[in-house]
Amino acid sequence: MLSDRALVRALAELQGNPEQAAAVVEKGHCVVLAGPGSGKTKTLTIAMARALIQDVPDPRGVACITYNNDCAIELETRLARLGITPGDRAFIGTVHSFALSQVIGPYARCVPVGLPADFKVASKSQMRAAVEVAHGISIGGYGNPHDRWKFASEKRVRDVDRTRPEWRGCNPELADFVEAYEAELRRQGLIDFDDMPLIAYRMIKENLWIRDAVRARFPVLFVDEYQDLGHALHELVLLLCFEGDIRLFAVGDTDQSIYGFTGANPELLESLTRRSDVRTIRLRFNYRSGAKIIRASLGALGEERDYHGIDGAPDGDLSFWPVPYGHDNQAEAVAKTIIPKLVEQGFELGQIAVLYRAAWLGDKVATALKEAAIPFFRTDTNALVKRSSRLARFIEECARWIAGGWRDAEPPYARLLSQAKTLVYGRHASEREEQELSAQLMGFLTASLGTSETTHAWLQRVARGLITPWRTIARNSEQEWDVCDEMISNTDPARDLDMPLAHFAGRTEGSGRVNLSTLHSAKGREFDAVIMYGVNASDMPSTRDKSSPGSLREARRLFYVGVTRPKKHLSLVYQEHHHSPWVFELYQRSQQN
């Protein structure tokens, strides 16, 4: 139930920040430009709660589109503290989930979009096979179809409105490739994730009554991390909000736009701020980092910004670690010198993060930490648990419950059941379905208590006992059930990847596990201490970064994202006499008063 009292308290907390206070009560189109540590998620959640309580009468609600499932989970957690749970009145999910559950699912049978009633989401192997068939049809037998598909895929997500001249007028060969690929998927009754917002856009554009139906349910649309969401979302916003009279509340930061390879474009957010019918509000206070780190971050960005720390906050600390020779020696320094020194200074392992450019660098750090007997948790592409996968997060939380979490209700069983219900049935399940699901889940969990199984063996039992029966009854076509198989493969004892279940569950003795993450995966997160590893002249920027001004600018923004993750301490590790040029600029700014 929505809590008026909780909302009043939340609004009162914002009075010390006039920009946040103005944003949450805005009743027109609003764009909030939120720098690192500026409280953008807090602003977004309070704005959603206020809209639901004060602006949107029951049974209407609001929708919030997020960059990934991890962002959605964070928003759901924060909104729960204000008495709001996802459901009929509050949709929270990715643009793909919004398109599938709010447009395609309800209305695809009413309009000619070429989808059967029982369409499925294509697996990776099905998508690869469709690319190969489409390449043979549209281009011919020469070249690698998957190399060529990278360019076709970029065009597909960029040129959303295919009635515009640029669809066939610019690279018509790629347009043929895309159309042949989609035709092959449709022949098999399949769609892929990129299809979802594209199909939803075409359905709404060609059938304005669908837009009216969406507005009737969600008169306000919230968008988190707008700069990351790309052209399909932007076109949907123009169609729903500026042509369809849905109110927009968008939050983002062009300085943290680092997903150009997925079609993200910071200019899309900038274009909204130039509209006369949009109010732009900038959040200037950084609640996360000390003043010294804030100054250094502007050196990392290479541009001036009007960001301020909080009066009385600690200054923060920076350290620079030149290491002889290359990545292996730098990883050894991280494990044997820097992390132990941070622990001596009082930092807990669980609040230390090592950030790097690519997953193969994470392998080097992981090897060094294993040799030093330092527990760690990875969130890069070689991670056991994908942060963006709801299924992987659910499995990990089940492990936490089994490994002792049941004693202190962390995680509570009710949350596990809610997650299971969403995974299998989407947002809605009958009372009987929920009871049967609960009996099955509780039976599996209690049977696992006291287990001496390793993570690999336990995951195999998860697959047999939960995933296999669930995927046969699932109504949630968005779910990636193959994630469990990937986790089993990633703990293969034959490759020395297995671990105790308590380690996987985060229930190891001591003060937690060091976080290993790529710079991309670290976006939106914060840690007490951050170690940026491999900040070498040849790595940041790389030769590829220097290929175009846009690529170089995005690489610098990526560096900036890393520098703005710590609250109290930042260490930069690089090859001696071979540091990134940005390190020197960062050092100079950090020394200013």
Asked whether residue 444 carries a pLDDT value surpassing 70, the answer given is yes
> Has 39 been labeled as part of a binding site?
yes
Greater confidence (222 vs 286) lies with 222
What's the pLDDT score for residue 510? 40
> Has 590 been labeled as part of a binding site?
no
Which pTM does this prediction carry?
A: 0.81
Task: Give the span between the Cα atoms of 565 and 352, in whole angstroms.
Answer: 11
Instruction: Give, in order, the Cα–Cα distances in Å from 278 to each of 28, 46, 265, 308.
Output: 7, 20, 19, 25
Tokens 């509340």 correspond to: 249
What 423-432 contacts at long range (C-beta under 8 Å, 24+ apart), as own/partner pairs, is 423/390, 423/391, 423/394, 423/470, 423/474, 423/476, 423/479, 424/470, 424/473, 424/474, 424/475, 424/476, 424/479, 425/474, 425/475, 425/476, 426/101, 426/475, 426/476, 427/86, 427/87, 427/88, 427/101
Mean pLDDT is lowest, of 339-353, 432-446, 495-509, for 495-509
Report residue 51 as tokens.
């809209």
What's the pLDDT score for residue 312? 66
Q: In this predicted model, what pLDDT tens digit does every residue of 105-124 receive, in sequence order?
A: 889 888 988 888 888 888 88
Task: Give the span between the Cα atoms of 416 and 62, in whole angstroms.
Answer: 25
Greater confidence (194 vs 482) lies with 194
Angle in degrees, CA 121, 124, 126, rounded to 5: 70
Asked whether residue 511 carries a pLDDT value surpassing 50, the answer given is no
What's the pLDDT score for residue 1? 45
> Has 34 been labeled as part of a binding site?
yes
Mean pLDDT is lowest, of 28-42, 145-159, 401-415, for 401-415
> Positive or negative, the Cα torsion across 337, 339, 342, 346?
negative
> Has 38 been labeled as part of a binding site?
yes
Q: In this predicted model, what pLDDT tens digit does every residue of 41-66 receive, in sequence order?
A: 899 999 999 999 899 988 899 999 99
Task: Give the span between the Cα atoms of 148 and 279, in whole angstroms.
Answer: 42
Task: Give the span between the Cα atoms of 274 and 281, in whole angstroms.
Answer: 12
> Has 341 been labeled as part of a binding site?
no
> Has 477 been labeled as part of a binding site?
no
Sorting pLDDT into bands at 50, 70 and 90, what band is 385?
low
Radius of gyration over every alpha carbon of the chain, rounded to an integer in angstroms:
24
Sorting pLDDT into bands at 50, 70 and 90, what band is 504?
confident
The burial class, CB within 10 Å (0-12 / 13-18 / 19+), for 477 is middle
What's the pLDDT score for residue 141? 67
Please compute the mean of the pLDDT values over residues 492-514 and round it to a whole number: 73
> Has 506 been labeled as part of a binding site?
no
Pair 39, 20: CB distance under 8 Å: yes
Please compute the mean of the pLDDT values over residues 22-30 and round it to a whole number: 94
536 three-class SS: strand
Strands 279-283 and 527-532: unpaired
Greatest Cα pair distance, the chain, in angstroms, is 67
Task: Give the span between the Cα atoms of 423 and 398, in whole angstroms.
Answer: 14
On average, the pLDDT of the chain sits at 87
Mean pLDDT is lowest, of 89-98, 480-489, 496-505, 529-538, for 496-505
Instruction: Give, in order, the Cα–Cα distances in Å from 502 to each of 449, 509, 571.
Output: 12, 9, 30
> Has 40 been labeled as part of a binding site?
yes
**What proportion of the chain, given as a percentage, has pLDDT over 90?**
50
Asked whether residue 203 carries a pLDDT value surpassing 90, the answer given is yes
Q: In this predicted model, what pLDDT tens digit does every residue of 142-198 receive, in sequence order?
A: 788 999 999 999 999 999 999 999 999 888 999 999 999 999 999 999 999 899 999
Task: Give the span between the Cα atoms of 553 and 256, in whole angstroms.
Answer: 11
Q: Which helix (H) or strand (E) holds 66?
A: strand 62-66
What's the pLDDT score for residue 169? 87
Q: In this predicted model, what pLDDT tens digit does every residue of 264-323 receive, in sequence order?
A: 889 999 999 999 999 999 998 888 887 788 888 877 777 777 777 676 667 788 999 999
Cβ atoms < 10 Å from Cβ of 583: 23
